[in-house]
A and B are shown apart, each in its own frame.
Chain A
Amino acid sequence: MDAVLTTLKILIIGDSGVGKSSLLLRFTDDKFDPEQAATIGVDFKVKAITIDGNTVKLAIWDTAGQERFRTLTPSYYRGAQGVIFVYDTTQRETFTHLTTWLTEVETYSTKPAIVKMLVGNKIDKENRQVSREEGLKFARKHCMLFIEASAKTRDGVECAFEELVEKVIQTPGLWEAEDGRHGNVNIHSTNTGGYCQC
Chain B
Amino acid sequence: MSKKPYKLEARNLNAFYGGFHALKDINIAMEEKAVTAFIGPSGCGKSTFLRTLNRMNDYIDGFRVEGDILLDGRDIYGKDVRVDELRKEVGMVFQKPNPFPKTIFENVVYGLKIQGIKDKKVLTEAAERSLRQTALWEEVKDKMDKSALALSGGQQQRLCIARALAISPSVILMDEPTSALDPISTAKIEELIYELKNDYTIVIVTHNMQQAGRVSDQTAFFYMGELVEYAKTKTMFTSPKHERTQNYITGRFG
A and B held together in a complex = no
Interface, chain B (partner A; CB < 8 A)? none
